Chain A
Amino acid sequence: MSSNTPSSSAGGVGSADSSAPRRNSKRPKYSKFTQQELPACKPILTPRWVISAFILVSIVFIPIGVVSLFASQDVVEIIDRYETECVPQDFRNNKVSFIQSDANKTCTRRLTVTKRMKQPIYVYYQLDNFYQNHRRYVKSRSDSQLKDNSSWNDVSSCKPEDDSNGQPIVPCGLIAWSLFNDTYNFSLNNQQLAVNKTEISWKSDRDSKFGNDVFPRNFQNGTLIGGKSLDPTVPLSEQEDLIVWMRTAALPTFRKLYGKIERDLQPNEVIHVTLENNYNTYSFNGKKKLVLSTTSWLGGKNDFLGIAYLTVGGLCFFLALSFTVVYLVKPRRLGDPSYLSWNRNPGGQ
């Protein structure tokens, strides 16, 4: 027989003597790992195990669901949709031209407190159909510029809002440029209701993401004005509206914190809101809502978790029940060798 192909390409002259006599190669060391004999527990899906798992889940989930639902119900929320109401009747057919005109956009809203609201009461604005997560939008910012004064001209990622009149914009990018610029003034019983607009952004953002030596520069100076202008004398770390806005939302419907009202509101109190309806959501039929909301341990008013927990818990209970019934009606012995019919002789041709 002529073929003598070495098993691997390494079978050279020099290595030949090392690979050839496998006879004296050392024996494998015995260990439970190498022999694949590590002690193992092998759970199987017995009816008892599965049914009790489902029961357990339902026992845990239903109370949590109830608690969550209660938490959500406890939250008092006043929502006022104003984007249509705040456009004068004459302009209702052409809201876009209204919002782009220089007309007076002040508008007054009346909010009635339905239930007692404990402080702090959070004031949100809610935008609908606003794609802060659009790829073009979400990337158009320069984190280094926001943080550090020295890289103020680092605007490469900010296109198309990177510079105006040949000068870099600080803060640059579409997000900053389109900063929300409606303003709200609250009054209760003809008294100014103070809205605390500090500490509405994340502390970590103020401390680490937005520099306290970075000042707005050349902002909203271009031909196209997007949103709010910034006070060039206030450092970015104190421009909390901007900081909040720049935390882009992942969903096209989102709320952003506007401020906090730090007193309780009693039922049937009426709040008058004087708002400046500046922000253009009309060109894309976006909604604007003003939201006053208390909070719970679970966050804002959101029934989803509670309902979902109740549903899952209920379904698990139902499954457990039906498994039990099926098991009792039609018991089946596990591992019954009679199910092993090799007579079909699988390999047979």
Chain B
Amino acid sequence: MKRYVYINENESSHELYCDNRISNRKYTVLNFLPKNLWEQFSRFMNQYFLLIACLQLWSLITPVNPASTWGPLIFIFAVSASKEAWDDYNRYLSDKKANEKLVWVVRQGIRKHIQAQDIHVGNIVWLRENDEVPCDLVLIGTSDPQGLCYVETSALDGETDLKTRGIPATCMGIDFELLHKIKGVIECPNPDKDIRRFDANLRLFPPFIDNDVCPLTIKNTILQSCYLRNTEWACGVAVHTGNETKLGMSRGIPEPKLTAMDAMIDKLTGAIFVFQIVVVMVLGIAGNVWKDTEARKQWYVLYPLEGPWYELLVIPLRFELLCSIMIPISIKVSLDLVKSLYAKFIDWDSEMIDYETGIPSHATNTAISEDLGQVEYIMTDKTGTLTENRMIFRRCCINGVFYGNESGDALKLLNAVAGSSPDVIQFVTVMAICNTVIPIKSKTGAILYKAQSQDEDALVNAAAQLHMVYANKNANILEIRFNGSIIKYELLEILEFTSDRKRMSVVVKDCQNGKILLLSKGADEAILPYAYDGQQTRTFIEVVEQYAQLGLRTLCLAWRELKEDEYQEWSLMFKEASSTLVDREWRIAEVCQRLEHEFEVLGVTAIEDCLQDGVPETIETLRKAGINFWMLTGDKQNTAIQIALSCNFISPEPKGQLLLIDGKTEDEVCRSLERVLLTMRITSSEPKDVAFVVDGWALEIALKHYRKAFTELAILSRTAICCRVTPSQKAQLVELLKSCDYRTLAIGDGGNDVRMIQQADIGVGISGREGLQAARAADYSIGKFRFLKRLILVHGRYSYNRTAFLSQYSFYKSLVICFIQIFFSFISGVSGTSLFNSVSLMAYNVFYTSVPVLVSVLDKDLSEGTVMQHPQILFYCQAGRLLNPSTFAGWFGRSLFHAIIVFVITIHAYAYEKSEMEELSMVALSGCIWLQAFVVALETNSFTVLQHLAIWGNLVAFYVINWIISAIPASGMYTIMFRLCRQPSYWITMFLIVAAGMGPVLALKYLRYTYRPSKINTLQQAERMGGPILTLGNIEPQPRSIEKEVSPLSITQPKSRSPVYEPLLSDSPNSSRRSLGPGTPFDFFQLQSRLSSNYSRNCKDN
């Protein structure tokens, strides 16, 4: 499917393609009500309430005024509808702003100022510096003579660096004036949401040069919502407009995630529903029997002898309505409310602000905080998540000579550079120019590098410190200052980095001698196999191995001189491949392959990626909390293992054991998998840290052919390291664990983690150096990995506890009132009379019982410090100990007990001459309210002012409200509350209800608390009795048991970490934090280190 965009043809495209009106709105004024109602009623609970409300309209069966259900129902719906409407209105406003923005567009050959929404496909749009791009454009002209412009794409992908975009070759040199009249056709794919691909062709019509097809890539486009920077003007042809732009297509509402807790609440609701049906059936039958036997004798009821056909249904339906409050209508509102408050607490938490960047944590998804407390598996990315993604050039090996080690002989390297050793010079040159970095001269004369990849940034900066300064990029001419002289290279081609190729190359022409050079850098397995025949690559393999063991990232640098004709021939192929529309990426890779061989490998660079602060502690704490960690990284196995060791991910030899799954063929993988599984099974009984390591290749085979075995392994293993995995494999692993009913949390920072973040139950994004992509796709975004501890242990745990209480309490209070109604029906001839009046019922559910429990969002069973000290306590949340059928049964029993207490005491204390209906009903109701206040008080662990205010204030409010209602002559309960409050017997009854209702509950709780305390209780006691809380139960070191069958990897930890990691060259402000050893030999580098400290938050563009 393709679309043909005719440039500057005003009329033709109007019908074919939409205009540039952006609409993010879900509703229109007309369809808002039906659509919104439809959405709301697609939930079971809402359907249930609607059914109840409709049944209540039938006055024959309704026990109470229909308003008692319609009121709350309409209120709830109004709240969610107005929230939606408000959101939609804001979207409308922002759309309107964007749509009515004035832009310069060429119309009939003249530039006109029109509203952005009137742009049509094929129009030429002019932008000035700092303008926002209104739709997806193909560039055809810029103010830059080379046809370049810079755009900021942060709104699109969160990357803050400037990206270069260029006009297609055909448009080069077209006169400014002629651009208005340009005609042609762009053949481009139909709108999609891939912001990294745009495979199209441009053909200009005469008189504009030739008829040649010119390939277009994403580099020739500027996409909607980007900003034009550092460029005076640019103009382009609109190819995708309105909601069909790349941004518009990628817009979408992520599927709502349901927490385990919500699922449990739904389950319990279902159980209550079944219970309700049973009650209704029993009472319905009893009611009909009573009616036919007894009620016929009660002449004053005047039952007609022959009822209508539906007579048998009337009583059951009445009871259905009477029991409908069993499922509390308020629970939805309360839960929504507290959940958004949990999310706010996360946003507000000052301990989760990244003070380096000032980014606070943010909960994008407000609905799943409880799940945080139930996490069982954490899948973490490595680079940028565990590490800082701040690359520092540490070491290198040039042609077998090592530079940079414990003794810190950076001088040697500098001397070697100064000594013009050709290998070294070549090596440093590759470091300096084999990249896509843009040097920008600041006003002070310092050079800033805008790099898309942190590795390149590190290499260029290191090269600059070695006096090989990549000074300027002027169109295709690269200038390098070396020892005072300027060397110029002409950049011929860039063979870009892709994650499949794992290398990138540039083809440059040395302007001095006209030699054409291919400079490459890449992963060892992408470079070393392509070395020329004679070269010994063994040393390099060893070096890579050695560096990887130190946890350093390695890159191999290589070069090759090209012959003129070889290049020319290849260049044609490359051009052709670049202009293919189908499978362009693959074709280009294939063509690149033809050039990238016969390398002369120059050496290996080693770059360190520092661990983030607090990572080992965080991992240790969370693992103590019973959370299993899996590391999913695209990095090398050794690097991954080293990082894993250094951040407590796995324990070193005596305690831990690493099992390796490898193999290139199915058989090998199968054997290795089985072996590992066997070991796992044996060792799973002993608390030993056993982890397995698997690489992407073996993983693919395992997932494809041995899914069952691998799943078993996944369940057995607490720790796993998966290296060399692709984004989709990450997502697959998450899926695998999810399918085993584990709660998974995925944390990552880069675009390659987005899929796993979206897949997992909880996605956490680190708003780091790789942009905001992950943070935007995630449910929670945090600034640093270490905040995860607080997010889970504090916020997740509290949220879980609070929701557990709140939801069960909501059922409890509804059940109490419902049981009373049921009991009352036995003394009212099973006729379905409601003891309580409509106002009370409504206020009971919506107000009296909701307010006190809402402040339970402030409840803390244990202080944050205690939880951090005893992370094991999280087990209670993980295992769902606080909300499950058995705890629910407890609450159910309590509600039954309290209902009996209230009912029995009320009907006996208010018997005979006092048995007036309204009075009795208010006595029973106030009994419930009193009990509830004490139940909330008993279940509250920490009382803040707000809690006291809500619990006792609510009690006062109950009386005030009822006094007010009692003062209205028209109301049914006119003067009732005043009369009651004057009676001593009323107050005596209340105290009796409280004492009889709470006494056994308190006694039971006390006994359990003292004689069978849960761990939480013990910690509470310990916390409040004061004194130091000892951590006794760390997992004791166990005697080692080495499984002979499996060859353990050598995972000896480097003896002393710090001195090893002296930066070889660049000295970033932060590097001193980790390096404690003597780092003085580098003093003279400090002068230059300003260069490297000018970090721009660049992002890897893979």
Instruction: Give A residues with C-beta under 8 Å from B.
Output: 1-18, 20-25, 27-30, 34-36, 38-45, 47, 50, 53-54, 57, 61, 64, 68, 122, 124, 126, 130-138, 143, 160-161, 174, 177-178, 202, 204, 208-209, 224, 226-227, 247-257, 280, 283-285, 297-300, 302, 304-305, 308-309, 312, 315-316, 319, 323, 332, 334-343, 345-349
Contacts and interface: CB of A to CB of B under 8 A. Distances in A.
- Chain B, interface size category, equals 35 or more
Contacts of B943: 40-43
A3 B318 contact: no
15 contacts: A1-B1102, A12-B91, A14-B96, A20-B155, A23-B357, A36-B798, A50-B1003, A131-B301, A249-B917, A250-B824, A252-B827, A252-B829, A309-B988, A334-B1021, A340-B1018
Interface in B907-929: 907-918, 920-921
Contacts of A21: 154
B988 A257 contact: no
Contacts of A44: 1009, 1020-1021, 1024
A75 to B, nearest CB: 11
B625 A302 contact: no
B55 to A, nearest CB: 15
B272 interface: no
Contacts of B1033: 340-343
A12 B98 contact: yes
A138 B833 contact: yes
B95 interface: yes
Contacts of B345: 34, 36
Given A40-B860, A50-B1002, A302-B911, A339 B98 contact: no
Contact of B767 (A22, A299, A338): A22
B1015 interface: yes
Contacts of B155: 16-17, 20
A308 B1022 contact: no
Nearest to B881: A346
Interface in B602-632: 624-628
A18 to B, nearest CB: 8
Contact of A3 (B93, B754, B917): B754
B197 interface: yes
Given A20-B154, A346-B872, A337 B917 contact: no
Contacts of B63: 135
Contacts of B875: 346-347
Contacts of A135: 63, 318, 828-829, 831-833
A254 B983 CA distance: 19
Contacts of B999: 54, 57, 312, 315-316, 319
Residue of A41, A42, A204, A308 contacting most chain B CB atoms (<10 Å): A42
Contact of B251 (A2, A12, A18, A28): A12
B582 interface: no
A323 B1007 CA distance: 9
Given A3-B755, A28-B348, A335 B1019 contact: yes
A255 B193 contact: no
Contacts of B887: none
Contacts of A174: 300-302
Nearest to B227: A17
Contacts of A160: 302, 304
A47 B362 CA distance: 43
A50 B1006 contact: yes
A133 B357 contact: no
A250 B824 CA distance: 9
Nearest to A327: B1010
Given A1-B773, A9-B253, A14-B98, A248 B917 contact: yes
B759 to A, nearest CB: 11
A46 to B, nearest CB: 8
B992 to A, nearest CB: 6
Contacts of A35: 348-351
Contacts of A319: 999, 1003
A21 B776 CA distance: 11
B1023 interface: yes
A137 B254 CA distance: 55
B97 interface: yes
Interface stretch (B291-299, B569-577, B644-652, B839-847): B291-299
B942 A40 contact: yes
B1079 interface: no
Contacts of B1039: none
Given A1-B751, A22-B781, A136-B303, A16 B225 contact: yes
Contact of A305 (B303, B985, B1009): B985
Given A251-B911, A304-B911, A346-B875, A284 B347 contact: no
Contact of B1009 (A38, A45, A255, A342): A45
Contacts of A315: 999
Contacts of B984: 297-298
Given A5-B250, A42-B1023, A337-B1032, 14 more contacts: A3-B777, A7-B776, A12-B95, A14-B98, A47-B1010, A132-B917, A249-B917, A250-B828, A285-B297, A300-B913, A308-B996, A309-B988, A340-B1015, A347-B875
Contact of B754 (A1, A133, A337, A339): A1
Contact of B295 (A25, A134, A336, A347): A134
A36 B858 contact: yes
Contacts of B95: 12-14
B1006 A4 contact: no
Contact of A12 (B24, B318, B1018): B24
A121 B931 CA distance: 37
B1025 interface: yes
Contacts of A283: 297-299
Q: Which 5 pairs of residues, A with B, have the shortest CB-CB distance?
A: A347-B626, A342-B1033, A335-B1022, A335-B1021, A14-B94
Interface in B1021-1035: 1021-1025, 1029-1030, 1032-1035
Given A27-B360, A257-B913, A304 B833 contact: no
Contacts of A3: 193, 250, 751, 754-755, 758, 777
Given A5-B250, A137-B301, A345-B687, A13 B911 contact: no
A255 B972 CA distance: 21
Residue of B348, B376, B921, B1025 contacting most chain A CB atoms (<10 Å): B348
A347 B687 contact: no
A52 B298 CA distance: 53
Contact of B1010 (A29, A45, A251): A45
Residue of A13, A18, A39, A250 contacting most chain B CB atoms (<10 Å): A13
Contacts of A15: 24, 90-91, 94
A60 B98 CA distance: 72
Nearest to A60: B991
B292 to A, nearest CB: 14
Contacts of A13: 22, 94-95, 98, 132, 134, 224-225, 247-248
A22 B772 CA distance: 9
A260 B1074 CA distance: 95
Interface in B86-111: 87, 90-91, 93-99
Contacts of A42: 941-943, 1020, 1023-1024
Contacts of A302: 908-909, 911-912
B778 interface: yes
Contact of B916 (A22, A64, A204, A249): A249
A172 B907 CA distance: 29
Contact of A22 (B132, B362, B1019): B362
A209 B195 CA distance: 74
A108 B348 CA distance: 82
Nearest to A136: B301
B727 interface: yes
B225 A349 contact: no
Contacts of A299: 913-914, 983, 985
Contacts of A10: 24, 87, 90-91, 94
Given A1-B727, A137-B301, A347 B1018 contact: no
